[in-house]
Amino acid sequence: MAELPAVLLTGVGYRHGRTPALRDCSLSVPPGRVVGLIGPNGAGKTTLLHLMVGLLRPDRGEVRIFGREPGGDPAILDRVAFLAQDKPLYGSFTVAETMRLGRHLNSRWSDELAAERLGRLGIPADRPVRRLSGGQRSQVAITLAMAKRPDLMVLDEPLADLDPLRRHEVMSDLMALTAETGMTVVLSSHVVAELEETCDHLVLLGDGRVQLAGDLDEVRAGHHALSGPASLVAALPDAGTVVHATRTGEHAGLLWRSDRPPPDPRWAVRTPAIGDIVLAYLRAPEASALPRPTLLRQVSPGLRPVQTAPTASEESR
Ligand SMILES: Nc1ncnc2c1ncn2[C@@H]1O[C@H](COP(=O)(O)OP(=O)(O)OP(=O)(O)O)[C@@H](O)[C@H]1O
């Protein structure tokens, strides 16, 4: 039997009151992946993570975690750890008391993992949480999530308060735990370079839509950085999409989305780094990876119209 996806979203839409946050989001994350969730401020990352762990229910579509609806299902609650963006902890509890609470609330809890990690990080067990630094508090919250030994760990900007060395350590610990237990990790971050080093799957949100979702190798193989005479742009095959384009005089630089590079040998073609792909999509929030009704839209003066998904305002017309 085929393995169930760790996370499956089908046509998910969500509004906070009258504010649309997510539209028609579909994605499937195989188990065991470390997923980087990227997108500009307000793109809908936190909303998406809250839907995954059942803190919100979709207005439209379906969310499934290992084939089941999240939120309220005890069989799933035990298998999922969630670290919210503000990393809520009880300030008056000491670190040791916080870990004791974790042990009482979670059937799969590992004291060894918690003690080893906190000891290695030099976080004093007898110190009340409110007297820790912001970064130390983050580490206590991350340790709580890890010691729960979940099958799915969902982390909303876990690296934000940490110095570069600690960020690296957190990612190493997550990868080690994933390798050991087969756990799936979904984490949002703005630090693209670190995600490129450590994640093997990428979800890119722009303006409430999934722009890109897939394993890093697939994402890289589906994009080409083109450089050449701007006059060639009009003759690019229809099978591809210009995600982002720049023009300097008669020279054009493009990120081209297609299974294969264009046949014209006058294009200089290279495989772009994930960071370059992410940046191109961040600059073009209307560009979409999913099959959508085609619209013609001008991306850059002098360049031919490209296919993009409708923007929210266009769709609501
Ligand atoms: N409680 C709320 N009430 C009304 N609107 C909200 C609420 N929470 C989020 N929104 C709106 O929903 C949209 C998505 O917000 P969300 O917090 O999911 O984005 P994000 O990608 O996590 O942003 P950031 O990177 O800044 O944390 C934004 O337009 C935001 O203003």
**Which residue owns the Cα nearest ligand 1 atom 10?**
16
CA 225, CA 111: separation in Å to the nearest integer? 48
Report which of 113, 221, 121 is spatially closest to residue 176, judged by C-alpha positions.
113
Complex-level ipTM: 0.97
Identify the pLDDT of residue 290. 40
Q: What share of the chain is helix, strand, coil (3-state, %, to 5)?
A: 30, 30, 40
Place 202 in a pLDDT band, splitting at 50, 70 and 90: very high
Q: Distance of CA 97 to CAs 130, 187, 214, Å? A: 13, 26, 40
**Ligand 1 in contact with 41 (CB < 6 A)?**
yes
Enter the DSSP assignment of 200: S
Tell me which residue has tokens 């409708």: 310
Sequence length of the chain is 317
| pLDDT greater at residue 16 or residue 193 | 16
pLDDT digits (tens, 9 = 90+) for 279-311: 999 887 776 644 332 322 333 333 333 333 333
Helices marked H in the chain: 45-52, 74-77, 95-105, 111-121, 134-147, 164-181, 192-198, 216-221, 274-283, 312-316
| pLDDT greater at residue 49 or residue 259 | 49
CA 99, CA 140: separation in Å to the nearest integer? 9
From 46, 48, 210, 282, give the residue whose CB has the most ligand 1 atoms within 8 Å, as the site to mutate: 46
CA 38, CA 170: separation in Å to the nearest integer? 18
For residue 142, pLDDT over 50 is answered with yes
